Every structure is written in structure tokens, then in C-alpha cells.
Amino acid sequence: MTFSSSTEGVHTIAEILSEPQTWTQCLSALLDSGQLAKINEKLNKNVEWIFVGCGSSFYLAQIAASSWSILTGIPARAIPASEILLFPELFPAPCQPVFISRSGRTSEIVEAAQYAESDLGIQSLAITCGIGTPIEEICSNVIRLSPADEKSTVMTRSFTSMLLALQALAADRASSKSFLTSLRALPTQAAPRLDGMQATVRSLVDKRTYADYVFLGQGPFFGVAQESMLKVKEMSCSYAQAFHTLEFRHGPKAIVSPETLLTFFLSESGFADEISVLQEMKELGGTTFVISNSINAAIRASADYSIELSLDVPEVARAAAAVIAGQFLGFYTGMRKGFNPDRPRNLSRVVMLDGRNGGSPRAAT
């Protein structure tokens, strides 16, 4: 594969490759300062946690909510910011909202946070990579990860860094020192895997492009599948979909053909059942790509391409590393198709909606 220009995609690929280093910077700043413990003391207890985002940040919210429930045992779920604005009865109170925004300026997030803080009187938490942004002025508590911000339009290192910060917050709430130790170890373990990941994805993309890109995952890996789907759409303008792995059997598998690339993010929790879906999709004629912490003989028999993470950290902590495979796939597919991943078609770094009347949710009027 030859890139159409030596300058196209340079920011995006550099930001993907910088992720482990950025994780170390962000986690060290949060944990060494005791900031997470101080924030946890201020946040609500014994209520449902609601993680709110738009686009990539919503898929991040899905992983964060799954991680929160797994690590703390406290109910949590993800909601798009637009749902709070258009259907505010779906936003439960009392709750502990967490507003996720790389820029801190996305209009739907800012308006939803304003509604929570001003209209409902709920002290919220914002996590952002921006500095001096509207979301910081609105939310009572803020986590800032400025080293994770990007020059490129699509979220890569900001996504994984904010995810790890929220997982660290969950581990602090659960008093799980072992999980926090694992998060600190993750960057060192993940960094040497990037070259192999990159080589596998480039080999896959060099062969061909596909009419349909399908991403499958369960639990926290469903959000990984969603985000990977979005990376392929954003950077390569390809048709892509995401499903829960076992749900794919219930109708969607009708689309499988030799024109379909199916990417599986396998979990340990559902390993045997998910492999059975992999085997079935291979028999239906799709090309299969597997990202798993370990690769066994059954996977090798049904996977056309595979990445073995081999990370010695808990399953939930591997989500950030797994999503890098999806980022590489979006990047190299985009480059093959002649797009510039640094400047995706029709996209901007911050989404601002025109035509809203002051941002007050319907039920508040």
C-alpha cells in the first residue's frame, strides 16, 4: 500500500502510536496527585451512574458504564446527550451523571450538563481534554486530560485515555488497589504490541476493501465494537455496523457474504459462546478478524486474521488496548481508499447544533 501523500494522516497515526505513552502521563497525573480519591469523596453514593456522551464519547460511555458496574457493583448505564435534551424523562434523578467530551464544547453535552446542574440541582462530573471550556464552567467536578488531546479530527488517544481515567475512578470507588496497579502496568504491556497490531491490520487492508465491515463484542467490548465501527466510517467512509456478538445470529447474519469483514472482540467471560459465532460466520463465507487476549486452536481454524493481546491485566482493563485495532483498521482502510484520516469528509472536531432554543429540555418548560 502506498499513501497518496506523505502528509496525509500524519497526525492520526502519530496519535494512535502515542497512546501507551499518553496513558502513562494521564494516569500518573491523576493517581499520584490523589485527584480521583478527592473527586470520589464529592460524588453521590448509592445512586445509579449515568455516563453521557455524543459520537465516540457515547461509545466510550458504554464501555465506562459496563466497567463501572463490573468493578463497583453499582448500577450504571450510558445515554446519548441528545436523549436527555429531547426525552428528559429518560434521565433518572437522583443519579450521578458523568459528561464526556474531548473538546468540552459540544453543544448537546454542554446543554445536558446545564440541565443537570441548573435545572435538577445535581452535581455532575465532566471529563475532557480541553482547557477553559464551557463544560468546565458548568460541572461541579472536572477531570482534565490535556496531554490526550489531538490535532486530528477523530478521537483516538483521547478516547482511550478518558476511558482509563474513568476505569481508574471506578477502581478507586471500589477500593481496588490491584486494579489500579494493573492500569498503571497496561501502557508498558501494550506498547510492544502496537507493531504487531499495525502489521496485521496493514496485511488485511493490503488484500482488499470490503462492502460491509461488521464489529462484534459483548459486555465492555460492545462499546469497543461500536467505536471501531465509527472509526472505519469516519476515516474510510465505509459502510460499517456493530452488534452484540450473540445477537448477530438473530437476523443480522443474513448479510454475511465474501464481501463482509467481521471483526470479533472476544471476551474471556463469553469465550466459548463467542467462538461458536466466529465458526458459524466463517462457514457462511465471511472474512474473519479476531482480537483476543489469547488465541487457541479453535480461533486459528476460523480466523483469517488475528491479534493476540497477551495482556496480564484484568479483562475490563484490556478494552482500551483492544480498540486500537479498530483505530488502525479505520486509518489504513481510509488511506487505501484515498482519504485523509486527519481531515475526514463532512466532519469537524466539535459538533455545534444550530436552531436549538436555549437548550432547555422539553420536560423542563
Contact 47, 91 (CB under 8 A): no
Total domain count for the chain?
2
User: Is residue 4 in some structural domain?
Assistant: no
User: Is residue 151 in some structural domain?
Assistant: yes
135 and 21 assigned to the same domain = yes
Please give the helix or strand (H or E) that residue 342 lies within, else none: none
Q: How many whole angstroms separate alpha carbon 219 and alpha carbon 227? A: 14
DSSP symbols for 246-308: GGGGTTGGGG-STTEEEEEE--STTHHHHHHHHHHHHHTT-EEEEEESS--HHHHHH-SEEEE
16 and 130 assigned to the same domain = yes
Distances (CA, A) of 252 to 229, 245, 281: 15, 10, 11
CA pseudo-torsion sign 99, 103, 108, 111 = positive
> Which cell numbers in the block locate residue 117?
446542574
20 and 161 assigned to the same domain = yes
Q: Is the peptide bond before 192 cis (omega within 30 degrees of 0)?
A: no
**Other beta carbons within 10 Å of 344:** 21
Prediction pTM value? 0.94
> Which cell numbers in the block locate residue 233?
466510517
> Which cell numbers in the block locate residue 256?
454475511
C-alpha 107: how far from its chain's center? 20
User: Is residue 185 in some structural domain?
Assistant: no
Contact 40, 169 (CB under 8 A): yes
Q: What is the CATH number of the domain that holds 305?
A: 3.40.50.10490
pLDDT in single tens digits along all 365 residues of the chain: 444 446 788 999 999 999 999 999 999 999 999 999 999 999 988 899 999 999 999 999 999 999 999 999 999 999 999 999 999 999 988 999 999 999 999 999 999 999 999 999 999 999 999 999 999 999 999 999 999 999 999 999 999 999 999 999 999 999 999 999 999 999 999 999 999 999 999 999 999 999 999 999 999 999 999 999 999 999 999 999 999 999 999 999 999 999 999 999 999 999 999 999 999 999 999 999 999 999 999 999 999 999 999 999 999 999 999 999 999 999 999 999 999 998 877 655 555 566 554 555 643 33
User: Is residue 347 in some structural domain?
Assistant: no
- Full domain range(s) for residue 255: 192-336
116 and 60 assigned to the same domain = yes
Q: How many whole angstroms separate alpha carbon 264 and alpha carbon 298? A: 14
